[in-house]
A and B are shown apart, each in its own frame.
Chain A
Amino acid sequence: MRILIVDDETIVRDSLAAWFRQDGHQVDAAEGGKEALRLVNSSRYDMAFLDIKMPGMDGLELQTRLAAADPELSIVLMTAYASVETAVKAMKDGAYDYIVKPFDPDDLSMLVKRAAEHRSLRAENVRLRKSLDSQAAPPPLLGASPAMQHVVDLVATVSASDSTVLITGESGTGKEVVARAIHAASPRRYNPMVVVNCGALPEGILESELFGHEAGAFTGARARHKGKFESAEGGTVFLDEIGEVSPKVQVELLRVLEEKVVTRLGGTTPVPVDFRIISATNRDLQAAVKEGSFREDLYWRLNVVHVHIPPLRERPEDVPVLAEQFLAKFAQSMSRKPMRFSPEALDALAAYPWPGNVRELQNAIERAVVVGRNEVVRAEDLPLRVTQAPAGGPGPGSLAEAERAHVLSVLEASGWNITRAARVLDVDRVTLYNKIKKYELKKPERAG
C-alpha cells in the first residue's frame, strides 16, 4: 500500500511512518493540507491518515479536498480527542474510518489490512464487471436497412425504461437476440435474464416452471422449486412464444404482472418478485385477441412497447452485412484464416428469399465455412437451395445419390463431427445417424 500521513506533529509522522514501513508499506508524510494536496495531485496513494486538528486547513476540510482530488483514496481521520459528532461528520463525508490516539497497534494493523482488502475487492469488482460486460454482451444488432435501424433505435430507447416489451417477427428473425440486447443495455443487466419457451412446455409443467412449486404440490414434487420469476429476481423474464400460452396460464400471468407477487403451486404465501417482462411471438396476437384465444387485458399488459422485426426478405440490404458478420464469427471459431465471399456467392445470397430468416442465413454460412476449402466462400459452398443449381458440372443422378453425396461431403468437411454436421445439414443427430446407416457411410480409419 502507498500511504500518506498528514499531521503537524513530527513525532506522529515519524512514528507512524516507521510503523507502516516495518509492515512493508510505502509511506510519504506531509505536515499540512497544502503539502498533502500537492502530493496527492502528483502521486497515487491508496490510503491517507489525516490528523483532524491541524493549523490552517483542518483534517475534515482536507478530507473533502483529497476525496475530490482522488475519489479512490481511503481516508482515515486521526484525533486525540474522541468526539461522536466529528466522527459522524467524517464518516458521512466518506471517510474510510476514524481512529483515536493513542492507537492500539492491533486495531491499526487490522484497519490497514481491512482497507487493503476493501480496495482489492473494489478493484476486483470493477474488473469483473468489465469482464462481465464484455462477455455477456449480446451480438450487436446488425442491419443497414432503415427497418433494422428503427429496431436498433427502439431497443436503445426502451432499454433505459422498465416497460414491458412485445417483440414480434417471423421465426428466425432474431427475437431472442433483440430481447438480450434490451436486457444487456438495461439497468437490470447485472441480474439474470431467464428465458422460458412457453410453446415447448405442457400447461402443468409451464405453470411449475414459471411460478415454482412447494414440496408435495404434485406427484414427484419432492422439494421446493423456485419458479422463473423468482429466479430472475431483479432481472428480466423473456417469455418466448407467448402466443402459445393456455388461457389458464394467461390468467395467472396477468395476476403476476399486476401484483408483482407469485404464489408457488401448492403454496399459500405470495412471494414478492421484481422483474421485467419481455415477450415474443411469431403469431398475430391481435388476431388471437379478436378470435378469443388470447386475453385482451394480458395483451395490453405485455404490449406496452412493441418491437417488430421485419423478415429478411423485406430488408435485402441486411443480407450481406449479416453474412459478413457470420462469416467472420465462424471462421474465427473454427480457427480458419479470415474469409471472404466470391462475387457469385454474394449474388446467390442476395437473390435468395431466406424464408428461415437470419437463422437460416446463419446456418448457411456455417455450412459454407465447414465445406469451403479455401479462404474464399464460393457459391457451391452454399446450400443447394440457396444457389438453386449446384455448380461444377453435372451432379449425381438420383435424389438419393445427391443426398448421399451431400451428407458424405458435409461429414468429411466436419471431420465426422456428428453434432456439427447435423447442424450444417439442419437435421437432428438421430436423423443424421439414420442417413449414415441408410447410405452405409463409413468414417475412414486413421493410419498410424
Chain B
Amino acid sequence: MAEAARLAEAVDLLPVGALPPGTLDALAARLSRRVELACHVLPPRELPLRRIPNRDQIDANALLEALEARATSDSRLLVGVAGEDIAVPLFTFVFGLARQGGRACVVSLARTDPSFYGLPPDPALRDERAVAEVLHEMGHLATLEHCPDRGCLMSFAGNIERVDTRGPRFCPSCAERLPHWLRGTTPPGDRV
C-alpha cells in the first residue's frame, strides 16, 4: 500500500456532499502547483455518508472506509473533499483523516473557512489551508507520522491557528522520507 502512494501518478479529488460550484477545480489547481502529479476532479458519486449521532458531523472513519473501497487503482490517490464538518466519534472534530500507507484520504473545508470562526468568508485562504491539510494527509499516505518539528507540515495541528503557523513546508527530515512527487513542491510564498 505504501508503495502505491510512492508510485502515484495522479490525484483524484472527489466531492463529498454538496460543494459550491468551482470549489474543487480551484482546489485542484492549487494542489497541482504543490505536487508533481496531475490533479483531476471526479464527478460527484453516491457515497454512504454516516453521521455521528447527536452531532451535526460526518463520521470521517466511515467516510474514509468508503473512499478506500473506491480507490481501486494502484497508481491514483483519492482525496475526498467534504464541505461539511467531519469528526471521528472519539474526537470533537478532525480537519482530515488518512491511514498511514493507504491510498485515500479525506479533508473538510468547514473549519478551514474563516467564516466558521465568525470572520468574513475567504475562499482563497480556505483553499490554501485545505491544500496544506491535503498535503499533510498525503504525508500520512506516504507512511509519515506526525513530526515533532512545529514548523513542519507534518506536525500535528489541533486548531486552525496551528494550521496557519506550522507553515507550508515539510522539514528536511520528513522531506527526505517523502516520494519525489510530494517532496519537490514549492509553497506559494516561495514562488518568484
Contact = CB atoms under 8 A, between A and B. Distances in A.
A24 B140 CA distance: 12
B59 to A, nearest CB: 10
Interface in B92-124: 92-94, 99-100
A24 B148 CA distance: 9
Contact of B91 (A22, A23, A104, A110): A104
Q: How many residues of B sit at the interface, in one of the four size bands?
A: 20 to 34
Given A23-B145, A24-B148, A102 B100 contact: no
B90 A102 contact: yes
A24 B158 CA distance: 16
B151 interface: no
Given A15-B88, A15-B89, A22-B100, A105 B148 contact: no
Interface string A95-112: 000000111111111100
B142 to A, nearest CB: 13
Nearest to A11: B89
B137 to A, nearest CB: 11
A106 B159 contact: yes
B155 to A, nearest CB: 10
B156 interface: yes
B91 A103 contact: yes
A123 to B, nearest CB: 19
Nearest to A110: B158
A77 to B, nearest CB: 15
Most chain B CB neighbours (cut-off 10 Å) among A16, A22, A107, A109? A22
Given A107-B158, A109-B158, A102 B146 contact: no
A22 to B, nearest CB: 5
B61 A15 contact: yes
B1 to A, nearest CB: 15
B90 A103 contact: yes
A35 B170 CA distance: 40
B106 to A, nearest CB: 14
Contacts of A11: 61, 89-90
B135 interface: no
13 contacts: A11-B61, A15-B89, A18-B99, A22-B145, A23-B156, A24-B148, A101-B90, A102-B87, A102-B91, A105-B158, A106-B158, A106-B159, A109-B158
Interface of B: 55, 61, 87-94, 99-100, 140, 145-146, 148, 156, 158-159, 162
